[in-house]
Structure 1
Amino acid sequence: MDIKGKLIIIGGAVDKGSFTETDFDKNVANNLNFFETGILRRIINESKHKSESRIEVITTASKIPREIGPEYVKALQYLGASNVDVLHIEKREMASDEDVLQRIKNADVLMFTGGDQLRLTSILGGTPLHEIILDKYTNEDFIYAGTSAGAAAASNNMIYQGSSSEALLKGEVKITSGLGLIDGVIIDTHFVQRGRIGRLFQAVVGNPKVLGIGLGEDTGLLIKNNKEMEAIGSGLVILVDGREIKDTNLTQVELGQPISINHLVTHVMSMNDTFDLNTYKMHIRDSQYAADLGPAVD
């Protein structure tokens, strides 16, 4: 099935500048160097009507929705987006409200903020709002953008808990169902800074068919047709491929004991690199071997 929507998943802490500063414009060069090649700019450019696209910022995952929502509105408006608003959905019953559902139907972009991904899925999962999102993503020129919790919740399988330091102890990583926009992957965020690679290792060794995606901060993936992935933002995307695992002790050790894994394949992507989820082939945009290989074929 061809997916008409686009998925933009972000590792968290998107550098959108500090819009609480009264002298923001004077410091724009220092605060907003990210905007030139940044993720929020890319969201606007990829959207159906560009700067005129209807963007709804969804704050459900956040514990401080009244603070974080306006920050994103200011950031997007600064980049030229002219039709942005915040939608606070704080209870499951609100995800069935007709006015809320109409706003979701009218949106070209839904921007899900960070917070607690379990809060996001427990409030929205299985509601009429959730069904509308899935339908729009499949059938319309629509963008689901999520940062941190909003990114982690986008896939069928979702990590919602697990200590970074003890992530390779059996049972430490907790996984549940996400919002189900994309299958065959599992996403972790704040990845490099919080040392979460062990969480992806455990998630992947338990089901090697699933590709682990670790998103660094101010880093994301643009995914088209649920298969074409492009790294965006300033940091790194780590991919964990378990299909070639040769051995593990996962089923032999008790809960809380260390896990061994033999031959786990990883890839590291940076801005403009691409990865095909069908072929599992990665293309490094600025490869040092590009001259030897000839021009890249897009």
Structure 2
Amino acid sequence: MNIQGKLMIIGGAVDKGSFTETDLDKNVANNLNFFETGILKRLLLESKHKENSRIEVITTASKIPREIGPEYVKALEYLGAKNVSVLHIEKREQATSEEVLEKLRAADVVIFTGGDQLRLTSILGGTAFHDIILEKYHNEDFIYAGTSAGAAAASNNMIYQGSSSEALLKGEVKITSGLGLIDGVIIDTHFVQRGRIGRLFQAVVGNPKVLGIGLGEDTGLLITNNTKMEAIGSGLVILVDGREIKDTNLTQVELGQPISISHLVTHVMSMYDTFDLSTHKMFIRSSQYADELGLPTD
């Protein structure tokens, strides 16, 4: 299937995973690491009408939506965006409001903020709002951007709970259905800083066909046609590929017991590196073999 839209999934920011700094107006460039790493600027450049694109910030995942929403607006306007507003959807009935749906139909970009990804799926899942998101993503020059919870919810399979320290104990990682924009992957966020690699290992060993994606903070992936992934931002993206697993005790041990895995393949991506989901091949932008591969090195 030829997907017309783009996904931008972001691991979250060090400062609360959102733009809630109180002195943003005075010291915006220092407070928002996304300015330094260029993630939000890249979002504008990739959007249909650039700074004139219609952008809707969706705060459903957050417990403090009235604080977070305006800070995203400030951040985007600081970068030159001229047409940004906030959609506060806190109950399922609001996701069927014709006023809300008309705003979504007119949007070129939606940005889902951080918070609790289970709020996103339980409030939006199966509504007209959800249907329009999927239709626009498949058929229009449209961007779904999500940070933290908004990123985790983008795929068919979604991690919604699991202790980092006990993540490799059988049954500790909880998985449910996400919003379903992309299949064949499962996404975790705040990945490096919160030590969540064990969560992704367990998610992948349970179904090795699914590629695990761990997004560091101030780091993201731009995904085009649900196949090409490009690393953006200042940190790391960890990919966990379970297709070559040779052995595991997953089905032999009881709930709460440690899991063993043999031959689990991992990749580490940094800015401008790419990964092809159709071939499972990674390309390092500054590779030592760049000349032989014909890759750009600038």
TM-score bracket, shorter-length normalisation: over 0.9
The aligned residue for residue 100 of structure 1 is: 100
The aligned residue for residue 221 of structure 2 is: 221
Q: Which whole-Å CA distance do the structure 2 matches of 1:118 and 1:34 have between them?
A: 25
The aligned residue for residue 184 of structure 1 is: 184
The aligned residue for residue 247 of structure 1 is: 247
1:144 is paired with a residue whose SS is: strand
The aligned residue for residue 193 of structure 2 is: 193
Could you report, residue by residue, the CA deviation over 1:153-212 in whole angstroms, capped at 9, with x for unpaired residues? 000000000000000000000000000000000000000000000000000000000000
List structure 1 segments (4+ residues) > 6 angstroms apart after TM superposition. 14-18
Q: 1:123 to 1:51 in 2, by over 3 A?
A: same
Q: Which whole-Å CA distance do the structure 2 matches of 1:145 and 1:23 have between them?
A: 24
Q: Which whole-Å CA distance do the structure 2 matches of 1:67 and 1:32 have between them?
A: 16
Q: Which whole-Å CA distance do the structure 2 matches of 1:258 and 1:185 have between them?
A: 24
Aligned-residue offset at 1:22:
6.8
Aligned-residue offset at 1:288:
2.3
Give the partner amino acid of 1:256. G
Query: Which structure 1 residue ranges, 5 or more long, are not aligned?
Result: none
Q: 1:36 to 1:70 in 2, by over 3 A?
A: same
The aligned residue for residue 21 of structure 1 is: 23
Residue correspondences, number: 295
Give the partner amino acid of 1:249. N
Could you report, residue by residue, the CA deviation over 1:219-276 in whole angstroms, capped at 9, with x for unpaired residues? 0000000000000011000000000000000000000000000000000000000000
The aligned residue for residue 48 of structure 2 is: 48
TM norm structure 1: 0.95
Name which of structure 1's ranges 82-91 and 29-38 shifts more when overlaid on structure 2: 29-38
The aligned residue for residue 232 of structure 1 is: 232
The aligned residue for residue 294 of structure 2 is: 295
Q: How does 1:149-188 map to 2 (within 5 A)?
A: 149-188=149-188
Aligned-residue offset at 1:31:
3.8
Q: Which whole-Å CA distance do the structure 2 matches of 1:159 and 1:294 have between them?
A: 36
Q: 1:98 to 1:38 in 2, by over 3 A?
A: same
The aligned residue for residue 86 of structure 2 is: 86
1:220 touches 1:233 (CA, 8 Å); kept in 2? Answer: yes
Aligned-residue offset at 1:23:
5.9
Q: 1:29 to 1:134 in 2, by over 3 A?
A: closer
Q: Which whole-Å CA distance do the structure 2 matches of 1:44 and 1:132 have between them?
A: 21
The aligned residue for residue 134 of structure 1 is: 134
2:258 is paired with a residue whose SS is: coil
Aligned-residue offset at 1:295:
2.4
Could you report, residue by residue, the CA deviation over 1:134-156 in whole angstroms, capped at 9, with x for unpaired residues? 00000000000000000000000
The aligned residue for residue 283 of structure 1 is: 283
1:7 touches 1:222 (CA, 8 Å); kept in 2? Answer: yes
1:4 is paired with a residue whose SS is: coil
The aligned residue for residue 8 of structure 1 is: 8
Q: 1:53 to 1:216 in 2, by over 3 A?
A: same
Tell me the C-alpha RMSD between the 2 structures: 1.7
Q: Which whole-Å CA distance do the structure 1 matches of 2:30 and 2:119 have between them?
A: 34
Could you report, residue by residue, the CA deviation over 1:261-298 in whole angstroms, capped at 9, with x for unpaired residues? 0000000000000000000000000112324x252179
Q: 1:131 to 1:34 in 2, by over 3 A?
A: closer
2:13 touches 2:33 (CA, 8 Å); kept in 1? Answer: no
Q: 1:294 to 1:129 in 2, by over 3 A?
A: closer
1:169 is paired with a residue whose SS is: coil
Q: 1:136 to 1:57 in 2, by over 3 A?
A: same
1:249 touches 1:260 (CA, 8 Å); kept in 2? Answer: yes
1:18 touches 1:31 (CA, 8 Å); kept in 2? Answer: no
Q: 1:158 to 1:22 in 2, by over 3 A?
A: closer
Q: Which whole-Å CA distance do the structure 2 matches of 1:63 and 1:133 have between them?
A: 22
1:168 touches 1:198 (CA, 8 Å); kept in 2? Answer: yes
1:19 touches 1:75 (CA, 8 Å); kept in 2? Answer: no
TM norm structure 2: 0.95
1:238 touches 1:269 (CA, 8 Å); kept in 2? Answer: yes
2:162 touches 2:199 (CA, 8 Å); kept in 1? Answer: yes
Give the partner amino acid of 1:295. G
